[in-house]
């Protein structure tokens, strides 16, 4: 009866569960909006038969610190990436490999409470490495015999240097 009264008075979201123990402590578990948690803590004090509302096992869906912690746990950013959450927006800065950036772009929309992903301050280290490699390869100049695909004499060393440059990227 007390537990049912608490459910009616508190109206928990579907993602939260209420359970009353033998000591009158109402345990809330699952996830709920931060505003609901605060209101439930206030209302639970006046519900007859409830001695305390235990919310330590309840995860706020929209509290900035919890959203940022959840984003970090889901995205597992490399140590070179800093995540910051502000007003529904998750900001990423620093450097990261392309595969991580791509995965983050795919995962962020599924994180409840994050409305937007901003990566203007995030540098793609893979792109930087490929650009540096392209610039280095473009410094080589191979000469071929006129009308043939044969390297001119002495160009084998240039060719070998190019091959070694490309092989060093693996």
- Note whether 92 and 80 are within 8 A (CB): no
pLDDT score recorded for residue 170: 64
For 109-143, the pLDDT digits (tens) are 988 788 899 999 999 999 999 999 899 989 988 89
CATH number of 2-60: 3.30.1340
CB 127 within 8 A of CB 133: no
pLDDT higher than threshold 80 for residue 68: yes
Task: Give the Cα separation of 73 and 100 in Å (integer).
Answer: 14
Backbone dihedral region for residue 139 (phi beyond 0: left; psi -120 to 50: alpha; all else: beta) = alpha
CATH of domain 64-123: 3.30.1340
Instruction: Enter the pTM of the model.
Output: 0.60
Interatomic CA distance for residues 130 and 135, integer angstroms? 9
- pLDDT (tens digit per residue) in 71-98: 999 999 999 999 999 988 999 999 999 9
Contact 29, 49 (CB under 8 A): no
User: Which of residues 146 and 100 earns the better pLDDT score?
Assistant: 100
User: Measuring CA to CA, which residue among 87, 9, 113, 16 is closest to residue 58?
Assistant: 16
Give 121's DSSP letter: E
- CATH 3.30.1340 residue ranges for the chain: 2-60, 64-123
Task: Please state, in angstroms and rounded to a whole number, the distance separating the CA atoms of residues 24 and 53.
Answer: 9
């Amino acid at each position: 009866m007390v537990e049912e009264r608490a459910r009616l008075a508190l109206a928990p979201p579907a993602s939260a569960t209420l359970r009353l123990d033998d000591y009158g402590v109402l345990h809330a578990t699952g996830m709920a909006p931060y505003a609901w948690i605060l209101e439930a803590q206030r209302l639970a004090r006046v519900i007859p038969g409830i001695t305390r509302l235990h919310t330590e096992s309840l995860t706020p869906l929209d509290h900035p610190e919890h959203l940022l912690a959840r984003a970090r746990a889901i995205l597992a950013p490399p140590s070179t990436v800093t995540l910051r959450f502000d007003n529904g927006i998750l900001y990423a800065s620093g450097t990261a490999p392309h595969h991580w950036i791509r995965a983050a772009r795919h995962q962020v929309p599924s994180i409840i409470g994050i409305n937007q992903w901003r990566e203007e301050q995030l540098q793609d280290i893979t792109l930087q490495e490929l650009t540096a490699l392209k610039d280095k390869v473009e410094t080589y100049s191979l000469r071929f015999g006129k009308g043939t695909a044969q390297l001119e004499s002495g160009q084998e060393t240039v060719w070998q240097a190019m091959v070694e440059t490309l092989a060093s990227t693996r």
